[in-house]
Amino acid sequence: MHVSDIKRFLRCPRLYQLSLETKTKFHLYLNISTDINASIANKLNIEKYYVGLTNQESSDTFLVADNYNWIFKARFSYNGLRIRVPLLYIDDDHCDVYSILLSSQALESEAVNMAFMRYVLEGNGLTVDNYYILFLNKDYVYDEKLDDENLWILTDHFIKDGRIMDNIKDSVENISLDLDYILYQIDKSEFELPVRTSKCTGRNRCQFYYDCFPMEKVIEDNSILTLVSSQYKYEMYDDGIRYLKDADFQRVEGSKVQLAQINADQNGGLYVDRQALKHWLEQLEFPISFIDFEWDLYPIPPYQGMKVMDVLVFQYSLHVFDGEKLTHYEFIEEGDSRKELVLSLLENLPEKGSVIAYNATGAEKIRIRELAGYLPQYSEKLLQINERMIDMAIPFISGWVYDVRMQGAFTLKTIENMIDDKHSYDNLRVSDGMQAVEIYREMCQCPDEQQKQLYREQLLQYCGLDSYSLYKIYKWLNKILSDHNDR
């Protein structure tokens, strides 16, 4: 059993039980192109070290310790619990524990992980003398080659937003975890019936949510369970209220989106705030450019001028509509293609007219600013694009337009599939942003040119559908406004 299993059990015993039965594919959200062990060794001036192997036992690690004081990924087990210490300094029966965080902060939440490590290490007869955290320096900028000394920060205190917090050792030793009892509970636990709590439906919805509540996977479009940001929707459902149109207004928070949902169900499935939508559409100027970026996230910067946790845009798709004709442009490249991408974008994007992206404020606008920072010679032209950029999500998240077929979801993919179920993301090999990143990474590492070209085509299809979907939504919004005016 691993620490991750205990965390799942403490969150929800059923989550722990289901995770044992299901092999879930792990998505690595960070692109790690650096040998972290070697980088840390350079930082700490470690000349000789060992890297632990999967499934090693405590006895194997102790044998290694006869020849190495420094062990990366040191594996131990005790009382049925297995741990992996990111970096261990061991000398006889004493040791120092180092956590390695791909983060720009050393947060106190790491104390719990270290408390698990302490339990197992002490169970193996080791005394932990010191606890440290190595985390990334947010001010570090890559310049020609990686500077390991300045990339990492070593601390024996927690650090949040630049402020020094509690001592790590004091915090770890003050944590009271009755792991013997927890492990006993896990061993004796039986498969529990699902009980919905905030842990199920929180910000990061449980991956097994629909295993526990399968009826919600096939709910009707106008189900009360689609009411967004509602504290009481399950309470209403249990009281026999099944549809949005029958919502109890005493138990509706009253946001504009919620009211749009209820009005949509009361008016045949679609709600349109005609004046707001009309005003939003009238601000658009031709030619209208519909754009979408794809990017990858690097905790350790690999290219000139990049900082810790910077992203690298590797692809764009652009559809330009002049009122009559729709023209498509696209770009994708491997490696550091920032300059080539910017030059291509500036060449193909009209110098006037509206530029539309979905969730533009939280995505494309930020990427444009970052590119302007990397390439100051083009910053003026790039930032002018942001001045013309308009967010396609606004009519939906503002409650001006709601179709019950959205089922409370406001993603580009949801809306595109709703208005055109024949030309759908479901028909693509790459159907979401995380898959796009995975395929991009595979493409960059693929030695087979034929396979590499296949990856390239898959990425172009996906990103191309994103920008084309923006055009289709634009046309749809105009149509429903026109239909509304004809009533």
218 shares a domain with 73: no
When pLDDT is averaged across residues 325-343 and rounded to a whole number, the result is 97
Note the pLDDT of residue 24. Answer: 55
Which pLDDT score, from 0 to 100, does residue 486 have? 57
Q: Which domain holds residue 396?
A: 273-487
Q: Give mean pLDDT, residues 18-35.
A: 76
Residue 202 forms part of a structural domain? no
How far is residue 49 from each of residues 9, 40, 54, 69, 481, measured CA to CA in Å?
Answer: 34, 11, 17, 7, 67
Confidence (pLDDT) at 25: 52
Q: Is the pLDDT of residue 260 over 60?
A: yes
Provide the percentage of residues in the chain whose pLDDT is more than 90: 79
Q: Give CA separation, 8 vs 82, 112, 151, 180, in Å.
A: 15, 14, 33, 16
Are 323 and 465 in a shared domain? yes
pLDDT exceeds cutoff 70 at 485: no
Of 123, 153, 188, the last residue of a domain is: 188
Task: Please tell me whether residues 222 and 293 are part of one structural domain.
Answer: no
Residues 296 and 440 grouped into a single domain: yes
The reply to whether 179 and 278 lie within a common domain is no
Q: Domain for residue 68, yes or no?
A: yes
The answer to whether residues 259 and 357 belong to one domain is no
pLDDT for the residue 113: 95
* Residue 333's pLDDT band (cuts 50, 70, 90): very high
Please give the pLDDT value at position 191: 65
Lowest mean pLDDT among 211-215, 267-271, 441-445, 483-487: 483-487
**Total of domains in the chain:** 3
User: What mean pLDDT comes out for the span 432-459?
Assistant: 93
- In which band, very low, low, confident or very high, does the pLDDT at 487 lie, cut at 50, 70 and 90? low
Identify whether residues 182 and 281 lie together within a single domain: no
- The residue among 248, 268, 288 that closes a domain is 268
Residue 48 located in a structural domain: yes
Q: What is the DSSP string of 114-171?
A: HHHHHHHHHHTT-EEEEEEEEEE-TT-B-BSB--HHHHEEEESEEEETTEEEEEHHHH
In this structure, the answer to whether residues 223 and 333 fall within a common structural domain is: no
Alpha-carbon distance of 416 to 3, in angstroms, equals 41
pLDDT at position 423: 62
Give a yes or no: residue 30 inside a domain. Answer: yes
Q: Clarify whether residues 314 and 438 are in a common domain.
A: yes
Identify the pLDDT of residue 347: 98
* Residue 207, domain member (yes or no): no
**What percent of the chain has pLDDT above 70?**
96
In the prediction, which pLDDT does 424 show?
A: 66
At residue 184, the pLDDT reads 80
- Report, as an integer, the average pLDDT of 370-397: 98
Last residue of a domain, one of 229, 251, 268: 268
pLDDT band at 206 (very low <50, low <70, confident <90, very high): confident
Instruction: Answer yes or no: is pLDDT of 194 > 90.
Output: no
Which pLDDT score, from 0 to 100, does residue 437 have?
A: 94
In a domain, 449, yes or no: yes
Helix (H, G, I), strand (E, B) or coil at 473: helix
Which CATH number fits the domain that encloses residue 337? 3.30.420
Whether residues 160 and 262 share a domain: the answer is no
117 in a domain, yes or no?
A: yes
pLDDT tens digits for range 143-181:
999 999 999 999 999 999 999 999 999 999 999 878 888
Tell me whether residue 87 is in a domain. Answer: yes
More confident site: 118 or 1: 118
- Kindly state whether residues 123 and 149 are assigned to the same domain: yes
230 and 277 in a common domain: no
pLDDT, position 208: 85
pLDDT of residue 203: 63
Q: What is d(CA 268, CA 362) in angstroms, rounded to the nearest whole number?
A: 33
DSSP structure string for 11-28: H-HHHHHHHHH--PPPP-
Q: What is the pTM of this model?
A: 0.91
pLDDT tens digits along 55-87: 999 999 999 999 999 999 999 999 889 999 999
